[in-house]
Amino acid sequence: MNAHRGSAVLSSATLKVQPAATGISENNRLRLFSGSANIPLSQQVARYLGMDLGSMIRKRFADGELYVQIQESIRGCDVYLIQPCCHPVNDNLMELLIMIDACRRASARQVTAVIPYYGYARADRKTAGRESITAKLTANLITQAGANRVLAMDLHSAQIQGYFDIPLDHVYGLPVILDYLESKQLEDIVVVSPDVGGVARARQFAKRLNDAPLAIIDKRRQAHNIAEVMNVIGDVKGKTAILVDDMIDTAGTINAGAKLLREEGARQVYACATHPVFSPPAIERLSSGLFEEVIVTNSIPIREGDRFPQLTVLSMANILGETIWRIHEDSSVSSMFPK
């Protein structure tokens, strides 16, 4: 297969992809396959790499069991399987495991699970007795299925990287979102963490956004998906507040945070997150008029019926494609994201 790909040139704040003349020869062993969870993203990654997605049969038996068959020879190849573990989480995770197993049994030289959204990531430690750490269990399943390497994006917590006994490359949606925000030339910015646990993420975001000031929302969570906002630590009056999180699920946390920021005198409120999980009633909350704009990536597909005027979806295909190429060529991945 003939292909041309881009090379990533990273400025101090953003990742910009420019065309390059590097080609993939006919004898190259790189193969790219997509699960059913986010085929449009996989197609964009394939276009970036200048190649076609591999041929694969996916079907479901009458009792709900999944079936996968690779439709081309991958013997001795380096195979990359793109599959976010988004809704329906159990089906998509199981499909990924079956894809990995099929590739191992087809004598692939190396199998890399490319997981734009890592499901079960929020249960990353025990917070009460007799709980399962499903983030670790999921890592065990992917490893035991036969994956040699994992490429994940914006994990919910950094320690999940240590749950894998195989190499894991961790990439970020930060450069794409930053590039978009800088193009808007917003003024009087304050970056806001929606909770204390997200301070490190918000601080890194603020540093890249011309050392913008930082504010923190202090909240107390009473139950899963229910958050009670208490107060804002920092000055947001008259400023453009940018709420930063890794994901938006029911939007309870970020919606309550936006209300508080408005009450504290914020002039505008933007929401930024890599993963648009968007469980009900997220759409109603996000489109209520509290936000000037809700900026997410396409790590998870968004149904047409769930789109609303304030929503902006940015593509992660170039970053994922560049990372896949660098892994395949044994080049540095971390150099794409300056400290």
Distance CA 306, CA 179 (A): 25
- Which has the closest alpha carbon to 98: 150, 147, 42? 147
- Which has the closest alpha carbon to 166: 194, 186, 143, 145? 143
**Annotated catalytic, 219?**
yes
DSSP class of 337: S
DSSP lists the bridge partners of residue 232 as: 217
Query: Exactly one of 16, 219, 237, 239 is catalytic; which is it?
Result: 219
The alpha-helical segments, DSSP class H, found in 50-188 are: 89-105, 134-145, 174-184
Distance CA 253, CA 259 (A): 10
Distance CA 300, CA 86 (A): 7
DSSP class of 75: T
Cα distances from 43 to residues 35, 59, 206, 303, in angstroms, run 11, 20, 32, 17
Q: How many CA atoms lie within 13 A of 217 on its CB side?
A: 33
Burial class of 157 by CB neighbour count within 10 A (0 to 12, 13 to 18, 19+): middle
Distance CA 59, CA 47 (A): 25
Distance CA 323, CA 317 (A): 10
* Residues classed as catalytic: 219
